[in-house]
Amino acid sequence: MGRIMLIAGNWKMNGSRAGAVNFVQALAALNLVPRPEYALLICPPATLIGQMAAPLAELGVRIGGQDCHQDPNGAFTGDISASMLADLGCGYVIVGHSERRALHGETDHMVRAKARAALAAGLTPIICVGETWAEREAGRAAAVVSAQLEGSVPDGVDPMRLVVAYEPVWAIGSGRAATVDDIAAMHRVIRAGFGGKCGDPEGGLILYGGSVKPSNAAEILALDLVDGALIGGASLEAADFMAIVDAAAA
Ligand code: PGA
């Protein structure tokens, strides 16, 4: 495995200041040894980024946001820009998560604009794509994901900063991850589109997300075309997150 894996936690709208302290302490107690073969990332809610950035950095763990606005600043009440995340020490931001697409009406066009804003602010966007169960049942999963990829990923992106997370909507938070065969097949579809996006078919990273947990992480992360994971529920506990990290190293 030549490329560096990215193991990323997405805390969604979970976590408190006290809980963040406990998480960092628990991670430190697990004697996290930074390894060159993978990068670790936590994306807590925006309220905790300022508090967690320095202690996570001390442990060699990167920090990112869960969403950003497409503009650098302005009259957008409640929104946060990519440059604000960069200012807090973020290196990454998740964009186009299916919860944002479904619950906030985000389109591919908006996701692409957010990804562009992230890149302009010096962040690496983690661009999420994934089909619903109905789309998979209808045999349209590959077509849906290809269209999302085409619409959401900016053209000409630096291969070093291209990260796509394949997250089947039905696998998120359901406890039912996609099968390794389905993951491998979809990652092949996504990688086939990378040449056109970044000029390097071998460049960029493709993460899998959706019910990744300590018990299934090893078989998923062992797949050739899987370059890491985006982990929701199982990233909230330091021990579970580290068990997944250990699976990546195995
Ligand atoms: P999950 O969430 O690991 O809880 O399924 C993944 C995600 O939404 O990124």
For residue range 47-93, list pLDDT tens digits in order. 999 999 999 999 999 999 999 999 999 999 999 999 999 999 999 99
Evaluate if residue 227 carries a pLDDT over 80.
yes
What is the Cα–Cα distance from 44 to 27, expressed in whole angstroms?
15
Comparing CA positions, the residue from 213, 14, 220, 41 lying closest to residue 99 is: 14
User: pLDDT band at 35, cuts 50/70/90?
Assistant: confident
State which ligand 1 atom lies nearest to the alpha carbon of 99.
Answer: 8
Catalytic residues: 97, 167
Give yes or no for a contact between 203 and 162, defined as CB atoms under 8 angstroms apart.
yes
Cβ(115)–Cβ(124) below 8 Å: no
What is the H or E stretch that residue 164 is in? Answer: strand 163-166
Is-contact 208 190, C-beta < 8 A?
no
> For atom 7 of ligand 1, which residue has the closest CA?
232
DSSP state of 178: P
Q: Which of 6, 7, 10, 14 for a ligand 1 pocket mutation test, highest count of atoms within 8 Å of Cβ?
A: 10
Tell me how far apart the alpha carbons of residues 68 and 93 are, in angstroms, rounded to a whole number. Answer: 7
Atom of ligand 1 lying closest to residue 98 CA: 8
What is the predicted pLDDT for the residue at 2?
57
One-letter amino acid of 192: A
**88-145: per-residue pLDDT in tens?**
999 999 999 999 999 999 999 999 999 999 999 999 999 999 999 999 999 999 999 9
The answer, yes or no, to whether any atom of ligand 1 lies below 6 A from the CB of 230, is: yes
Q: Contacts for 172-176 with beta carbons within 8 Å, 24 or more apart?
A: 172/98, 172/99, 172/130, 172/209, 172/210, 172/211, 172/232, 173/211, 173/232, 173/233, 174/210, 174/211, 175/211, 176/211
Matching residue, tokens 């946060």: 80
pLDDT of the residue at 226: 97
Average the pLDDT over each of 43-47, 83-87, 157-161, 225-229 and give the range with the smallest value. 157-161
15 or 196, which is more confident? Answer: 15
> What span, in angstroms and rounded, lies between the C-alpha atoms of 1 and 43?
25
Q: Which atom of ligand 1 is nearest to the CA of 213?
A: 3
CB distance 168 to ligand 1 below 6 Å: no
